[in-house]
Structure 1
Amino acid sequence: MRSANEDWNPNLYLKFEDERTRPPRDLLARIPLSHPRRVVDIGCGPGNSTELLAERWPDADLIGMDSSPNMIAKAQARLPAARFEQGDIASWQAPEGTEVLFANAVFQWLPDHPAILERLLTGLSEGGALAVQMPDNVQEPSHRLMNEAAAAGPWAAKIGHIKREELPSVGDYYNRLKPLCRHLDIWHTHYYHPLDGAPAIVEWFKSTGLRTFLDPLSAEEREGFLADYGARIAQAYPARVDGKVLLRFPRLFIVAVR
């Protein structure tokens, strides 16, 4: 579930498709099912993660779901043979016979997502797998500086206080999910993405984390906010020997087998 005033922009999201597809590829590699009958990509976005599922399990009944009509349209054009549906993850139920629930970078938007993960996991039959990846980056400069820029300019009142909650601890996820499954694998990976300067970092987050900051602003205010944020990013992410900047991106992974 991705909530915002405006629909998501698939083209902006896919500007960094290779980098964004690495985590779902790493998550997929740890799912211990060889021939699942039905696979659902929860929060499928523009279909880049769904495409990985189709490549691994070409004979599975593959369903992608997302809250964004734009993302669904992009994903359907990319994978005409798959089924896609619009839905609200908070209340969504997996179709009967689903054996893999795959969720790439979606549950971090839901404050009560541990309870949703419990519900989805208990809905799987024995041997089914719930595989989840979430950004764990709210303490990174990229996100801390969003709030600093929001509070520093004439747009502060319009933006208000925006804060994505930190993810629960690994121990919390373990305690909640382990009693419900026979196998539980939880790990962190820190990706270091070499990008073409500070403006590329700003562009990366314009399609995700910055959206809630930008949505309330006029075009002129957005320009001012992005300039302020970009200047802060340039200070926090210095150029390396080849002129690139390194965007450190921590992510949490969970694979639970019922």
Structure 2
Amino acid sequence: MPAADATTWDPRQYLRHSDHRARPFVDLLARVPELPAADGRPPRIADLGCGPGNVTRLLADRWPTAHITGFDNSPEMLARADRLAGPTDGGGRLDFAQADAADWAPAPGTYDLILSNATLQWVPGHPGSFPAWISALVPGGTFALQVPGNFDAPSHVLMRELSETDRWRDRLGGLLRHADAVLAPGAYLERLADLGCEVDAWETTYQHLLAGEDPVLDWVKGTGLRPVLTALADDAAATEAFLTEYRELLRKAYPATEHGTVFPFRRVFAVARKGAGA
């Protein structure tokens, strides 16, 4: 769910590594406390940046009576997610709607849980939205986020360096994100604690063991490389030329082993529970 840009998304490509991509969501969800849901009403949950909805539906397993809405600004992702919409087995409901994380601001006291998984790295200045999102929680509600923290990893550094070479600078220069796209866990903790929340913040580096030929390239085609693929979409020859150069760099940075290709991936998490007086 990148904010207000023209990046084109491919749900099929994104879902090719859905098992690995889902694990941080599950780990984030495990740290979310029980929701207030007072007076017997069903919980109200927002998944901000739901993508194809494959992990949004996991929320219904935890809160089977909840009304869950996944928000995204990608028509391609929402078209895929809409296949999952409808009543849930526990009597709740799952639906999806168009929204951009850059300006999404629901009414105060609207939600018991606002969750954003692998989205806010696309939204410059996203901590500035935290006051409005905390305000949108009922007392005792929770805001939970997970963002990639691997912008200094070879996969991203090499992508940026290649984009800034003489051959590609005119078309791709300045297009890609740097490490300042997200905060450190301690910085998220401070921002959310300042808003009167009880905060749990941490980071994890996953050691993904990927199979297949050039699996790291295949991975980033679904996420970090999307701005490049979008910018070059009208030029098949240029797309293939960039991918050929980038593929060779990745093969050296992430050599295949007899067990597969190891792809370390750092992620940053924060879970903030709103206090009664926040």
With normalisation by structure 1, the TM-score equals 0.93
The structural deviation recorded for 1:125 is 2.0
**Alpha-carbon contact 1:153-1:225 (below 8 Å) kept:** no
- In the alignment, the residues of structure 2 paired with residue 153 and residue 222 of structure 1 have an alpha-carbon distance, to the nearest angstrom, of 16
- In the alignment, the residues of structure 2 paired with residue 254 and residue 214 of structure 1 have an alpha-carbon distance, to the nearest angstrom, of 31
**Alpha-carbon contact 1:198-1:245 (below 8 Å) kept:** no
Please point out which of 122, 125, 132 is paired with 1:109: 122
**Alpha-carbon contact 1:41-1:49 (below 8 Å) kept:** no
SS at match of 1:131: strand
**Partner amino acid, structure 1, of 2:183:** P
The within-5 A match list for 1:69-88 is 69-81=75-87, 82-88=94-100
Which deviations, in whole Å up to 9, do the C-alpha atoms of 1:92-142 show, x marking residues without a partner?
123553100011000111121111123211321210000100000100000
Question: How many residues matched?
Answer: 257
Please point out which of 235, 252, 266 is paired with 1:250: 266
Please point out which of 255, 258, 266 is paired with 1:238: 255
- In the alignment, the residues of structure 2 paired with residue 197 and residue 144 of structure 1 have an alpha-carbon distance, to the nearest angstrom, of 23
**Alpha-carbon contact 1:111-1:165 (below 8 Å) kept:** no
The structural deviation recorded for 1:57 is 0.8
Q: Which residue of 1 aligns with 2:18?
A: 17
More deviation in 183-192 or 155-164?
A: 155-164
Confirm or deny that 1:184 pairs with 2:190: no
Q: Which residue of 1 aligns with 2:56?
A: 50
- In the alignment, the residues of structure 2 paired with residue 50 and residue 111 of structure 1 have an alpha-carbon distance, to the nearest angstrom, of 23
With normalisation by structure 2, the TM-score equals 0.87
Please point out which of 225, 228, 238 is paired with 1:221: 238
The structural deviation recorded for 1:12 is 0.8
- The 1:147/1:179 distance shift into structure 2, 3 A limit, reads closer
Confirm or deny that 1:40 pairs with 2:46: yes
**Partner amino acid, structure 1, of 2:258:** V
Confirm or deny that 1:98 pairs with 2:92: no
Please point out which of 122, 125, 142 is paired with 2:138: 125
The structural deviation recorded for 1:78 is 2.4
Q: Percent identity?
A: 39
Confirm or deny that 1:59 pairs with 2:74: no
**Alpha-carbon contact 1:35-1:60 (below 8 Å) kept:** no
Which deviations, in whole Å up to 9, do the C-alpha atoms of 1:199-219 show, x marking residues without a partner?
111111112111112222211
The structural deviation recorded for 1:257 is 0.2
The within-5 A match list for 1:137-176 is 137-152=150-165, 154-166=167-179, 167-176=182-191
- The 1:121/1:165 distance shift into structure 2, 3 A limit, reads farther
- In the alignment, the residues of structure 2 paired with residue 173 and residue 216 of structure 1 have an alpha-carbon distance, to the nearest angstrom, of 32
SS at match of 1:91: coil
SS at match of 2:194: helix
- In the alignment, the residues of structure 2 paired with residue 205 and residue 254 of structure 1 have an alpha-carbon distance, to the nearest angstrom, of 24
**Alpha-carbon contact 1:155-1:221 (below 8 Å) kept:** no
**Partner amino acid, structure 1, of 2:98:** Q
**Partner amino acid, structure 2, of 1:200:** P
**Partner amino acid, structure 2, of 1:150:** S
List alignment gaps of at least 5 residues for structure 1.
none
